[in-house]
């Protein structure tokens, strides 16, 4: 199976579970929309790979958000259980000098149809996205994990690599010998990691993981991932209506080219005075009906 995907498997003889992610097309799509600098592209790519790995445990209509708030830059990445991923980074012109280690905080939010199910905030101060993901997992799931977020962006913005691997212990595995130790050694060896990505491209990821650990690995599931934003004109209209009639009319009057751009996918929604009058009429209609939208 080619293209962007999440691959889940187990190594029962070692008490390990793993997730592998290939995300080159999704990252290329994100970069084409946002046109960030090379450093900002790397931050965006690392956050998209991280959220895809972290979101492997959510289900149904849930969405997971990872929000890194750093001293010099920030990034938000969302992944739905259905494999739709989106992200944004600020500033888009981040310089290599400014993009240092991950220092700041990581906010994690689990959503179900726009309602928050869980919110966690952890302080971070680590050199790499891999360690930030390990810290998040250790904190939120109280379970040790080893991760490798492997991103390479060429200077002209081409996505050379956007991959991730994530290993954790099976629940119930007896403490004592640490099954993650050999994994950590492999994940820190660039040649071993390159070998894993080649095996993934050749449909032999599980064989390679099994060879790493000298114990057979079993594939459990594979599912596609893609860049997709759930924004809509209807949502943007609701947002504008929340300004109220007076501010909304003022907004359309003062703008030379009244529009709203989605900060995730860069979709542009334009409005004119007639659109705004229609929204105001809707606003007054909902106020007058005595039924505040069932909320
Ligand atoms: Zn959007």
What is the CA(264)–ligand 1 centre distance, in A? 5
Q: Which two tokens stand for residue 196?
A: 């894993």
Average pLDDT score over residue span 52-71: 95
What is the CA(24)–ligand 1 centre distance, in A? 20
Please check whether residue 15 lies inside any domain of the structure.
yes
Helix (H, G, I), strand (E, B) or coil at 173: coil
What is the CA(267)–ligand 1 centre distance, in A? 6
Q: pLDDT at residue 141 above 90?
A: no
Task: Give the residue from 227, 246, 277 where a domain finishes.
Answer: 227
Q: Which residue has the higher pLDDT, 59 or 293?
A: 59
Element housing 144 (H / E): none
Backbone phi and psi for residue 74, each to the nearest 5 degrees, phi listed first: -145, 160
Q: pLDDT at residue 36 above 60?
A: yes
pLDDT tens for residues 77-131? Answer: 999 999 999 999 999 999 887 888 999 999 999 999 989 999 999 999 999 999 9
Q: Which two tokens stand for residue 10?
A: 């187990």
CATH number for the domain harbouring residue 269: 3.90.1280.10
What is the CA(77)–ligand 1 centre distance, in A? 13
pLDDT-based confidence at 1, cuts 50/70/90? very low
Please check whether residue 121 lies inside any domain of the structure.
yes
SS3 per-residue string spanning 47-104: HHHHHHHHHHHCCCCEEEEEEEEECCCEEEEEEECCCEEEEEEECCCCCCCCCCCEEE
What is the CA(144)–ligand 1 centre distance, in A? 35
Instruction: Indicate the length of the chain as a whole number.
Output: 295
Q: Which domain holds residue 248?
A: 233-288
Same domain, 166 and 279: no
What is the CA(284)–ligand 1 centre distance, in A? 27
What is the CA(261)–ligand 1 centre distance, in A? 8
Residue 141, Cβ neighbours under 10 Å: how many? Answer: 12
């Amino acid at each position: 199976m080619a293209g962007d995907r999440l691959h889940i498997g187990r190594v029962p003889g070692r008490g390990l579970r793993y997730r592998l992610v290939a995300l080159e097309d999704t990252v290329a799509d994100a970069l084409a929309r946002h046109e960030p600098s090379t450093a900002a592209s790397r931050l965006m790519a690392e956050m998209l790979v991280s959220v895809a790995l972290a979101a492997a445990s959510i289900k149904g209509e849930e969405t997971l958000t990872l929000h890194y708030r750093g001293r010099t830059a920030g990034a938000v990445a969302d992944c739905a259980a259905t494999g739709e991923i989106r992200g944004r980074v600020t500033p888009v012109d981040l310089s290599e000098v400014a993009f240092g280690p991950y220092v700041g905080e990581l906010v994690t939010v689990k959503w179900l149809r726009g309602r928050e199910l869980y919110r966690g905030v952890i302080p971070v101060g680590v050199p790499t996205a891999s360690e930030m993901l390990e810290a998040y997992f250790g904190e939120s799931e109280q379970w040790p994990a080893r991760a490798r977020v492997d991103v390479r962006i060429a200077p002209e913005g081409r996505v050379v690599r956007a991959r991730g691997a994530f290993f954790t212990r099976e629940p119930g595995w007896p403490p004592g010998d640490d099954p993650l130790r050999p994994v950590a050694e492999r994940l820190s060896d660039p040649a071993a990691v390159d070998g894993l990505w080649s095996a993934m491209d050749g449909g032999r990821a599980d064989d390679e993981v099994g060879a790493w650990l000298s114990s057979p690995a079993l594939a459990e599931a594979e599912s596609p991932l893609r860049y997709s934003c759930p924004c809509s004109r209807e949502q943007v209209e609701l947002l504008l209506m929340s300004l109220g009639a007076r501010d909304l009319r003022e907004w359309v009057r003062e703008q030379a080219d009244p529009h709203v751009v989605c900060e995730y996918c860069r979709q542009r929604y334009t409005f004119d005075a007639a659109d705004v009058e229609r929204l105001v009429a809707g606003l007054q209609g909902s106020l007058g009906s005595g039924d505040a939208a069932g909320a």
